[in-house]
């Protein structure tokens, strides 16, 4: 039985801004027998607000260690490692047999009195991490002989269960073998024979569990599994260099990354199943699978090729590691029990039918990791769902995308697991209970991400993250990594990933490591907010590292309001705030709308400058300000040190797609041809600005999710992606009630109106115009200046009417980067009426790729309504 996936939402600190991206809820965690309020941070120090008593001790099976109050508190080094514990009462721990103490129940207590369970992560790192982090884990092969290693320092024993053939979920092992413990690292290992290669295995881990208060034996897969059975019941001793895992030509394949300047590579965000599920040019058995990408003449691959030729050449795949909530056998995947297409466009019945199979169908975003290092099985064809055959199909997909002109970015989710405790989807917590997850002061697991938060600040969880990223880079030769909820990682952990990638070379690893891209969600919230536990990998903290973070500032300015607004009609720069009010009370009166439009226009300007903290420009008020001085909900808007550190976007897989957001925000009677113009206008700041452009796959042709604001488990029906332009996905019924029911009164009339459903010609027009903007970006290096100093010298925003953005890229300032022209002017007019603008000095003409009819005078131009205009001189 798989768990349903539920996506919670959290604001950033002091913001009502950025939504999180899909992950599963878990059932209520098993409770500690009592709260674990004592925290053993290293061999010599324990933090504990103890009850008054004459003397204290740490009790463990067979003995005790003396505790002595330490009035000096945590030493500086420990206070830096554990800032949330600074100032708390501290005890010195007496000498004793540390290994014995850590391999059973541990309590801190007054001598002779009742105790409190002890959190052990700190002392485990102090005792074992130095040796443990130097070792390889999971399966490895030396001269064809396989070995296994598992880190389980608190375990009393670990045994290997070895199977013959492909085992059924409840199969008995052919052999059960004792593994050897290394006292220095706390790891357990075993070396087999060449005949073990390809065999399936599990571990038996006997360990004390704080959540049950008992020593228990868990049967568990390898957390470092590289290959698995269907539905991940068993791991495989797979040699991924063997022929069964290696497609022809693989050893010549090289991951080139996203180049020296990532901003030269636009990113389209794609779901493996969505991509081909409705593509008639893909054989039916390959639809929704890795193998769909190997059909170069399919509609989907031809479309990706067109995007790549226009500069949007990076394909960001939603999670493709082993996912907990998708049944992998096709016969186990349920489909909605009704004729969805026959139902009215505003019916609630579609979402009711979809809900009946949610969690047991073939669709999920996939933000619920089960095993980090093995590909998801539901995306493999049935003949390749077990073992290393998945690896072969995944590698062939990467090859096919590379051959198609596309780079491959994988979405990685290390900030939480699908489950903890003893449940069926728990892995790490069965092996070292209480270590891999971040515990709160009472010993409960933090769940601010939605689920069981991991703790990459702990040495071996951080080591897992680094090893896993390197594994994906070397094994699958992908070109980049997008980190889910990266702000829940320490900055040091992400930089360790960066250093490890930098060491990979094309000659040795098939990877140009220095060019592998890293970007992620730099949100600041939860128990780690404001660097409470470590310096986080948040937007502002990652400035100067080259690691990208999503620019929610520009997103909210373009769309209007926040992705968390209760009323989705709040208007923004490209959704009607400029002269096209929709009457929603939340938009305020005329003066309030004008003030907000000025603020949003400044955020758009700053976003087009790469959201640089130090970039200085003339704001709507007339004052010259730096990016860090522009306000974004009480925080500095500008945070990046280089354009590559800002990923510019207006929609992604989470929240409403751009078309759906504009459907709510533009006046209901807005004609479809004008909605097309506003869709292109909304995408233009990201596509024609500095920074790295990013878009949800399909927004370039009006993709809709029928107004669903959270389609993580909304099935195929609400997640359609149709590059044949037969169906945009709009008007497929009221979106699922749990996350959208409050907006049904607004959504119903919009869905019911046939004028709101895009026709194929509308989708084609939008696609053509979006590709035009991409080609314009590609036509000049002035759109990818790459360096903050160049941006400051060459980019300015001349005075313009309220709500209009003029971005002047002046190639006469500083070095000559574009010999073909002296400058470029990008003009964005969101008004429903023409706007006259004054032009910078020079002889301006429409860009060669411009398609709007323009009236240009020597010093002025008339911008058409709702237009994106590009001029050159």
Catalytic residues: 484, 521
- Alpha carbons 282 and 299: distance in angstroms, whole number: 8
- Alpha carbons 320 and 335: distance in angstroms, whole number: 22
Residue 77's alpha-carbon distances to 70, 218, 278, 661, in angstroms, are 16, 36, 57, 49
- Altogether, the residues listed in the chain come to a count of 873
Q: Please, are residues 729 and 718 in contact by the beta-carbon 8 Å criterion? A: yes
Q: Which of 264, 261, 258 is nearest to 642 (CA)?
A: 261
Q: Which of 450, 386, 467, 383 is nearest to 415 (CA)?
A: 450
Q: Are strands 407-412 and 480-483 parallel, antiparallel or unpaired?
A: parallel
- Alpha carbons 97 and 90: distance in angstroms, whole number: 21
Q: Are strands 175-178 and 180-182 parallel, antiparallel or unpaired?
A: unpaired
User: 10 Å Cβ neighbour count for 99?
Assistant: 14
Sheet strands (E) in 389-531? 407-412, 416-417, 452-453, 480-483, 517-520
Q: Alpha helix (H) ranges present in 225-310?
A: 272-277, 299-309
Q: Please, are residues 70 and 90 in contact by the beta-carbon 8 Å criterion? A: yes
Q: Are strands 452-453 and 416-417 parallel, antiparallel or unpaired?
A: antiparallel
Looking at residue 444, the DSSP 8-state letter turns out to be P
Helix 760-778 × helix 672-687 angle, to 10°: 20
Whose tokens are 């809820």? That residue is 25
- Exposed e or buried b for every residue in 3-27, given b needs 16+ CB within 10 A? bebbbeebbbbebebbbbbbbbbbe
- Alpha carbons 711 and 499: distance in angstroms, whole number: 35
User: 10 Å Cβ neighbour count for 819?
Assistant: 8
Q: Alpha helix (H) ranges present in 505-642?
A: 506-509, 552-559, 590-608
User: 10 Å Cβ neighbour count for 187?
Assistant: 23
**What is the SS3 assignment for 219?**
strand
Indicate the burial class of 148 (C-beta count within 10 angstroms; 0-12, 13-18, 19 or more).
buried
Helix 744-752 × helix 658-665 angle, to 10°: 100
- Alpha carbons 500 and 496: distance in angstroms, whole number: 6
- Alpha carbons 122 and 104: distance in angstroms, whole number: 16
């Amino acid at each position: 039985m798989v768990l349903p996936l539920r996506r919670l939402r959290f604001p950033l600190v002091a913001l009502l801004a950025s939504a999180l991206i899909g992950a599963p809820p878990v059932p209520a965690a098993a409770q500690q027998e009592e709260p674990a309020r004592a925290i053993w941070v290293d061999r010599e120090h324990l933090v504990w607000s103890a009850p008054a008593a004459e003397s204290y001790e740490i009790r463990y099976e067979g003995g005790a260690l003396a505790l002595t109050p330490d009035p000096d508190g945590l030493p500086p080094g420990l206070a830096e490692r554990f800032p949330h514990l600074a100032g708390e009462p501290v005890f010195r721990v007496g000498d004793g047999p540390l290994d014995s103490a850590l391999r059973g129940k541990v309590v801190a207590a007054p001598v002779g009195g009742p105790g409190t369970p002890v959190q052990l992560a700190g002392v485990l790192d102090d005792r074992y991490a130095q040796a443990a982090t130097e070792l390889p884990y999971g399966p490895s092969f030396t001269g064809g002989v396989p070995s296994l290693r598992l880190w389980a320092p608190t375990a009393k024993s670990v045994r290997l269960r070895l199977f013959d053939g492909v085992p059924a979920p409840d199969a008995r092992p052919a052999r059960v073998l004792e593994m050897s413990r290394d006292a220095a690292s706390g790891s357990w290992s075993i070396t087999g024979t060449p005949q073990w290669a390809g065999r399936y295995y599990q571990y038996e881990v006997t360990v004390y569990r704080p959540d049950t208060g008992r020593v228990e034996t868990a049967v568990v897969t390898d957390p470092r599994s590289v290959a698995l059975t269907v539905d991940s019941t068993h791991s495989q001793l797979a040699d991924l260099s063997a022929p069964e895992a290696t497609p022809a030509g693989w050893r010549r394949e090289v991951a080139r990354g996203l180049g020296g300047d990532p901003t030269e590579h636009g990113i389209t965000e794609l779901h493996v199943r969505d991509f081909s599920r409705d593509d008639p040019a893909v054989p039916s058995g390959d639809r929704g699978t890795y193998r769909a990408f190997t059909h170069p003449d399919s509609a989907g691959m031809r479309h990706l090729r067109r995007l790549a030729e226009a500069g949007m050449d990076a394909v960001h795949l939603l999670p493709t590691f082993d996912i907990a909530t998708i049944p992998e056998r096709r016969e186990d995947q349920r489909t909605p029990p009704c004729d969805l297409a026959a139902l009215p466009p505003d019916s609630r019945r579609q979402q009711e039918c979809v809900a009946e199979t949610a969690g047991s169908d073939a669709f999920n975003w996939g933000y619920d990791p089960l095993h980090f290092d093995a590909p998801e099985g539901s995306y493999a064809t049935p003949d390749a769902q077990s073992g290393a055959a998945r690896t072969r199909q995944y590698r062939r997909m990467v090859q096919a995308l590379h051959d198609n002109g596309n780079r491959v970015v994988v979405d990685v989710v290390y900030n939480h697991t699908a489950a903890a405790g003893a449940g069926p989807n728990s892995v790490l917590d069965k092996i070292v209970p209480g270590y891999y997850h971040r515990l709160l002061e009472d010993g409960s697991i933090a769940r601010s991400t939605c689920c069981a938060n991991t703790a990459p600040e702990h040495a071996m969880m951080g080591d897992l993250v680094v090893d896993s990223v390197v594994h994906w880079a070397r094994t699958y030769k992908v070109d980049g990594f997008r980190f889910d909820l990266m702000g829940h990682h320490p900055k040091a952990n992400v930089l360790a990933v960066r250093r490890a990638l930098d060491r990979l070379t094309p000659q040795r690893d098939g990877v140009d490591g220095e060019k592998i891209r890293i970007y992620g969600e730099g949100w600041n919230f939860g128990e780690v907010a404001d660097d409470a536990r470590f310096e986080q990998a948040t937007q502002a903290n990652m400035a100067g590292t080259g690691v990208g973070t999503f620019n929610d500032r520009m997103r909210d300015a373009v769309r209007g309001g926040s992705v968390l607004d209760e009323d989705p009609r709040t208007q923004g720069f490209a959704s009607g705030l400029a002269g096209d009010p929709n009457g929603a009370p939340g938009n305020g009166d005329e003066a309030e709308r004008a003030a907000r439009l000025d603020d949003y226009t400044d955020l758009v300007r700053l976003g087009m400058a790469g959201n640089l903290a130090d970039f200085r420009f003339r704001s709507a008020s007339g004052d010259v300000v730096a990016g860090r001085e522009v306000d974004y909900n009480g925080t500095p808007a500008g945070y990046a040190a280089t354009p590559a550190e800002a990923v510019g976007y207006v929609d992604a897989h989470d929240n409403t797609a751009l078309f759906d957001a504009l459907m709510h925000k533009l006046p209901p009677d807005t004609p479809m041809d004008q909605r097309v113009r506003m869709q292109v206008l909304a995408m233009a700041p990201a596509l024609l600005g500095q920074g790295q452009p990013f878009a949800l796959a399909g927004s370039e042709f009006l993709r809709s999710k029928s107004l669903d604001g959270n389609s993580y488990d909304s099935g195929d029906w609400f997640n359609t992606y149709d590059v044949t332009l037969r169906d945009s996905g709009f008007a497929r019924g009221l979106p699922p009630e749990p996350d959208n029911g409050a907006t049904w009164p607004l959504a119903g009339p919009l869905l019911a109106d046939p004028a709101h459903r895009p026709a194929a010609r509308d989708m084609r027009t939008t696609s053509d115009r979006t590709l035009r903007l991409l080609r314009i970006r590609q036509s000049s290096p002035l759109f990818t200046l790459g360096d903050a100093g160049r941006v400051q010298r060459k980019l300015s925003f001349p005075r313009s009417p309220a709500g209009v953005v003029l971005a002047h890229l002046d190639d006469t300032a500083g070095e000559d980067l574009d010999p073909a022209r002296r400058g470029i002017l990008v003009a964005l007019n969101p008004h429903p009426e023409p706007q006259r603008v004054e032009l910078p000095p020079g002889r301006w003409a429409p860009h060669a790729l411009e398609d709007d009819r323009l009236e240009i005078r020597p010093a002025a131009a008339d911008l058409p309504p709702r237009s994106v205009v590009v001029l050159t001189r």
